[in-house]
Structure 1
Amino acid sequence: MAQHGVLGPAGQHLGQGRVDQELAADLGVVGQFEAATDQREVLLGATAHLPGLGQPDQAVETLRALPAEPEIDIAFIDADKVGYPLYYEEIVPRLRPGGLVVLDNVFLGGRVLDPAYQEEHHLAMRRLNDFIAADDRVDAVMLPVRDGVTLARKR
């Protein structure tokens, strides 16, 4: 079992959960970790089906509870796709200049590129992809790796 937690300023503990290592590749954890080099990272993933780890709405509340100042070096988002735009908007202002937000599964199996798919998560991801491409706060690239990965670096 791996312990993941959310730490605020000066190590203030905001929440935690346990994730089995074998599930870690498929399941996400909301967490912020402070390394010895004073780098901070946020991992954001789908936690709704893990007892004790909270619901996706709680992930947004956890992000909002983080300091508003730009303190994050890297954030990785692999969570409920409808929530991606909100997570992105909560994270980008908290990124340090040069900080990176990584969004996984931005192609949704190619369905994002096919207008025949009109489910809520397809529409949300399309809007977010377009928004990031036009977002003056970041330099972004979409990589055709597996199911698509977007790297957005804060200017």
Structure 2
Amino acid sequence: MGANLKITEKLQSYINDLGLKLNPIQQEIIDYNNTLGDIKRMQVDPSQCYFLHLIIKISNIKNVLEIGTFTGLSALSISLALPDDGKLIALDKNEKTNEVALKFFKKAKQDHKIKTIIKPALESLEDLKNNKFDMIFIDADKMNYKEYYERSLQLIDKDGLIIIDNVLWHGEVADQKNLDKYTVNIREFNSHIANDKRVEQIIIPLGDGMTVCRVL
């Protein structure tokens, strides 16, 4: 039986060199985030940008909801993959980082596809309850993950995708002795989805771990 490779930094660089290339504005966002100190961890990994790009392309996705935007790397990655008439609604509660994201969206000439809403995501999800999306990407405050997921299921039709970031939580979810509240919350959330008969799902070890759910 085959085993998964350990992805070293050298091997990851090799993969990146032979894979999709980042848009210059995506790289600008990464460079900007690298100046922010520890908070840059809120950014998705470039490998996840590539994955989101391909999943949107092959699934013919046009309408996307993002819960948690930060400075806009994942949102821009999604928007660049969408057709010209595609739409992304991006939810975040931080006005300062939203202003940064908007500048990058405009510079990349993607602002016509992206609408940002700045207030607590659960309030925005209530406002959007009559909308339908082809895909929802969840990457916001981890303690509300289960609620975001349940609300998302109401906004997705059959065969729609819900993708959730940070589900491996730096690998700590596998350590049953780790009782940190965030680790426990993510571990319980992962179990909830694994036992949810409304979806079929897989965890992909990209970045900090992504769960991809197809609604049944």
- Identify which of 184, 208, 211 aligns with 1:123: 184
Q: How does 1:13-28 map to 2 (within 5 A)?
A: 22=29, 26=42
State the partner residue of 2:62.
Answer: 39
- Which whole-Å deviations, capped at 9, do the CAs of 1:81-103 have from their partners, x for residues lacking one? 11111110110121011000000
Match of 2:122 in 1: 60
Superposition pairs of residues 3-152 of structure 1, within 5 angstroms = 22=29, 26=42, 39-45=62-68, 47-51=92-96, 54=118, 58-68=120-130, 71-152=132-213
Q: Which has the larger radius of gyration?
A: 2
The alignment partner of 2:129 has SS state of coil
Greater per-residue helix proportion = 2
CA offsets, 1:2-27, max 9 Å, x none?
Answer: xxxxxxxxxxxxxxxxxxx6268945
- How far is 1:115 from its partner? 1.7
- The 2-side partners of 1:113 and 1:50 are apart by 35
**Structure 2 stretches of 5 or more lacking a match?**
1-27, 34-39, 45-59, 71-91, 99-116
TM-score, normalised with respect to structure 2:
0.51
Q: 1:148/1:27 Cα in 2 relative to 1: closer, same or farther (>3 Å)? A: closer
Matched residues in 1 for 2:207 and 2:43: separation? Answer: 17
2:24 alignment counterpart: none
Counterparts of 2:161 and 2:168 in 1: how far apart (Å)?
19
Name the one with the larger strand percent. 1
Q: Which stretches in structure 1 are left out of the alignment for 5+ residues?
A: 1-20, 29-36
